[in-house]
Amino acid sequence: MNKSILEKVCQDVYRRFPVVKGCHPKVSKQAEDRYLLVFSSAEKSPDGQSIQQMLRVVTAEDGRIIKTSMSR
């Protein structure tokens, strides 16, 4: 994936999901023209427990976001 396209996708993701802002994704190729970006962050709950959150973003090669899903 082109670095400028990756930066554009990351900015879109940070705008929609501020919890992963500043996290760098792990990028893997899924198909000929699709990539999977996995963002991971850890937040503290009010009682002090650590909550791991994963955000998966499937993008086209041109930077168009196809699908997003988040786990908690």
pLDDT the model gives residue 70: 93
Residue 70 parent element (H or E): strand 65-71
What is the mean pLDDT of each successive set of 10 residues along the chain, which is 72 residues long?
93 94 94 94 88 94 95 80
Residue 5 sits at the vertex; the CA angle it makes with 62 and 14, to the nearest 5 degrees, is 115
pLDDT the model gives residue 43: 85
pLDDT the model gives residue 63: 93
What's the CA gap between 40 and 54, in Å, rounded? 5
pTM for the whole structure: 0.87
